[in-house]
């Protein structure tokens, strides 16, 4: 029966791959959520600009609100940039984890092929010995 010597390593690498994938997907969803928030802020800014202003007091409050929206917009853009960097690093870690899993899986395939080849060789030896014993008997 075939037993892979590095089975524990393979299992650990698979767990690491799963964790890396989860971390990447979480970072991706955070970035997408932040981008949705940014679009909402853009829509509020657009609506505020189109809104007619009557007296001076409402104009001042409108300008203050627009300035606050502009600040939120810039803050959200910088937050998205940080999230994009984090997402790209986690994606690279996920890709690296996949490469490591594939490497160990390739070792397993090679070990299985060698095991099967050895089993076939032993079987052939047994058949040859049986045939030799039969001829001499």
Higher model confidence: residue 38 or residue 59? Answer: 38
Nearest to 20 by CA among 79, 101, 74: 101
Q: Is the pLDDT of residue 136 over 80?
A: no
pTM: 0.78
- The SS3 call for residue 55 is coil
Could you give the CA distance from residue 93 to residue 72 in angstroms, rounded to a whole number? Answer: 31
Q: In the prediction, which pLDDT does 11 show? A: 96
Q: Is the pLDDT of residue 3 over 80?
A: yes
Could you give the CA distance from residue 117 to residue 91 in angstroms, rounded to a whole number? Answer: 39
Domains, in order of start, for the chain: 7-136 (1.10.287.1700)
Instruction: Say how many CA atoms lie within 13 Å of 80 toward its Cβ.
Output: 14
pLDDT in tens, 40-84: 999 999 988 888 878 888 888 888 999 999 999 999 999 999 999
Tokens describing residue 85: 């960097």
Q: Is the pLDDT of residue 86 over 80?
A: yes
Nearest to 72 by CA among 42, 49, 51, 47: 42
Q: Which residues of 3-37 are buried (b: 16+ CB within 10 A; e: fewer)?
A: ebeeeeebeebeebbeebbebbeebbeebeebeee
């Amino acid at each position: 029966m075939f037993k892979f010597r590095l089975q524990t390593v393979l299992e650990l690498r698979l767990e690491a791959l799963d964790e890396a994938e989860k971390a990447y997907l979480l970072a991706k969803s955070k970035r997408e959520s932040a981008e949705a928030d940014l679009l909402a802020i853009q829509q509020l800014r657009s609506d505020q600009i189109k809104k007619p202003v009557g007296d001076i007091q409402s104009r001042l409050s409108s300008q203050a609100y627009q300035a606050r929206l502009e600040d939120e917009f810039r803050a959200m853009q910088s937050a998205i940039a940080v999230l994009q960097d984090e997402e790209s690093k986690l994606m690279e870690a996920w890709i690296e984890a996949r490469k490591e899993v594939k490497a160990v899986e390739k070792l397993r395939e090679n070990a299985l092929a060698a095991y099967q080849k050895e089993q076939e060789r032993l079987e052939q030896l047994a058949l040859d010995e049986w045939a030799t014993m039969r001829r001499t008997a």
